[in-house]
Amino acid sequence: MQAGLNSWYQADLAAMFPRRVIAKSLCAKKDEEEALLFVLDQMAVWSGRQYEGRPIAAAIGFDRAIKASEVNFHDVCHDDFSAVMSNGFDTMVVCDFIGRIAGHEQLEHPEAPPSFAPNRLQAIAQWAENERVAVVLNRSGDILIFRSRELVFARRSGRWHYLKHAPLLTQMGRPSDMDVRTAIYESALDASFARTGACIGLVVAAQNNKWRSVATSASDYLSPAHSKKAKALAAMIADRPFHKLDRRLRQELLAIDGATILDHKGRILAVGAILKVEGGSSGGGRLAAAKALSKLGMGIKVSQDGRIQAFREGEDEILDPVEEIFRIM
């Protein structure tokens, strides 16, 4: 491919070839690759369409250990009903690895949710174990691929990416408490794929007395809570640290406009905090807030387009876990 990568049709390779890299990495045989490629391409088609005026969401599971019918998923995609036979978060059409339909799964929310998958898709991530593969189209038009109970590939804004979860957790470096660190990472991932955006600040022990100089409004503080907002949130949180909260509540806290600020033990200091940032900051308010928070320990910005950035001392330290496949080929 070297000649092609240096040619005028490089952009065509960037758009189409990564899907073959993905299929080859997930499948054992050529006919399995072709079945997965068809589903990926069908999901891409559905991502640009609507059904009854709404974007299509769907999920297809591949399982080698299942007895399938003679009907191939390829053959039913010509009919519109195929687009609405799963809801994309807790029901799915299940096929064998060459695309023959085997059944339909209705999934329960797992008691021990997988860490490295968006919260809303934990049921599907849980299903994708023991060499199973699940492909999901969400209503934002993203195509997500799960294996080994993790989100491993994602197509966003027309380009395929892979996700590198464990290295990012190590690269974060702080806080030292791995439960708190994992909760922060999980919640950034949830905000990213829910497209809600977020701003998270982590205050290290040495900066414990300085965070109020950045979050200057006492109405945002949870202890002591003075405003109606702070009292309501404090009642919901009930003195629990961030990593002890249900992921759904953490995601909803992060969706509140402003920054969520934690100390190094996971104690929630402020929610929806409006920050004092230096004048002339570029890149938008959420980016400026994350950089300001980074001087206290670490600042994380999740854009509404899903990009995750993290800073220490105002510098990029942790990259988005979503890495473009074509860029590393």
186-217 residue pLDDT tens: 999 999 999 999 999 999 998 888 999 999 89
Counting residues of the chain whose pLDDT is more than 90, the rounded percentage is: 71
pLDDT of res. 282 = 53
| Distance between CA atoms of residues 154 and 325, nearest Å | 10
pLDDT at 119 over 60: yes
Tell me which residue of 14, 322, 319 sits closest to 158, measured CA to CA. 14
Looking at the predicted structure, is the pLDDT value of residue 295 above 70?
yes
For residue 8, with 0-12 CB atoms within 10 Å meaning exposed, 13-18 middle and 19 or more buried, which class applies? exposed
Q: Report how far residue 311's alpha carbon sits from residue 286's, in angstroms, rounded to the nearest whole number.
A: 12
Strand partners, 163: 322
> What type of residue sits at position 105?
E
For residue 326, the model assigns a pLDDT of 54
As beta bridge partners, residue 147 has 133, 150
Residues 294, 301: contact at Cβ < 8 Å?
Answer: no
Superfamily covering domain 2-163: DNA integrity scanning protein, DisA, N-terminal domain (3.40.1700.10)
Higher pLDDT, 36 or 278: 36
Query: Do residues 278 and 287 make contact, with C-beta atoms less than 8 angstroms apart?
Result: no
Are 2-163 and 166-321 in the same CATH fold? yes
Could you tell me if 116 and 30 are in contact, meaning their C-beta atoms sit under 8 angstroms apart? no
**Domain edges within the chain:** 2-163, 166-321
Q: If you average pLDDT over every residue of the chain, what do you get? A: 90
- Residue 304 is predicted with a pLDDT of 86
How much is the pLDDT for 329? 40
The two most distant CA atoms of the chain are separated, in Å, by 67
Calpha distance 219→213 (Å, rounded): 14
Topology annotation, domain 166-321: YojJ-like (1 (3.40.1700)
Contact 242, 183 (CB under 8 A): yes
